[in-house]
């Protein structure tokens, strides 16, 4: 194999890994927003961590660790007909073998229950540490830093 084709093969392999990571992160949001509890838990490693911090004031919103805690958390999470969308924007992915780091912006949109209007209720950044186990990427740690939120003022706690 020529040096040029070897370089192209490495670039293609990197793109495929990045695509697999993006699919995982999209699966996270879809599963959370539509109540697919087992799919949401499955995006994490068995000993994974999900930590949500309100950065203005340093308040911890919630923290779960391990699949039992993930299952307990997601079982009480809002499901349709309470509509919301977790949007991930501008992810920066760095892969090092079977580990990766992703930094991305997020927005949380909701349908106002009173008048049906769309609301931007939170935004911030995700900091993810991922690992590839048995050929699949999973989230080992997700830290969500909430930079602004209207959730408390609307009586919603998560």
What pLDDT tens digit does each residue of the chain (158 aa) get?
788 888 999 999 999 999 999 999 999 999 999 999 999 999 999 999 999 999 988 899 999 999 999 999 999 998 998 999 999 999 999 999 999 999 999 999 999 988 999 999 999 999 999 999 999 999 999 999 999 998 664 444 44
Instruction: Give the separation between CA 9 and CA 105, rounded to whole angstroms.
Output: 30
Domain chopping of the chain, boundaries: 3-154
Spelled out in words, what is the top-level CATH class assigned to the domain 3-154? alpha beta
Tens digits of residue pLDDT in 61-79: 999 999 999 999 999 998 9
């Amino acid at each position: 194999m020529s040096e040029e084709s070897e370089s192209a093969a490495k670039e293609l392999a990197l793109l495929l890994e990045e695509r697999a990571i993006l699919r995982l992160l999209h699966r996270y949001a879809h599963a959370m927003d539509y109540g697919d509890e087992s799919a949401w838990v499955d995006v994490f490693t068995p000993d994974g961590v999900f930590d949500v911090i309100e950065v203005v004031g340093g308040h911890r919103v919630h923290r779960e660790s391990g699949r039992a805690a993930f299952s307990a958390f997601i079982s009480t999470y809002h499901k349709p007909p309470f509509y919301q969308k977790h949007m991930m924007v501008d992810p920066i992915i760095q892969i090092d073998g079977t580990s990766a780091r992703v930094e991305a912006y997020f927005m949380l949109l909701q349908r106002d229950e009173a008048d049906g209007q769309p609301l931007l209720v939170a935004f911030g950044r995700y900091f993810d540490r991922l690992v590839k186990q048995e050929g699949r990427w999973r989230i080992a740690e997700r830290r969500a830093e909430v930079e602004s939120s209207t959730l408390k003022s609307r009586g919603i706690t998560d």
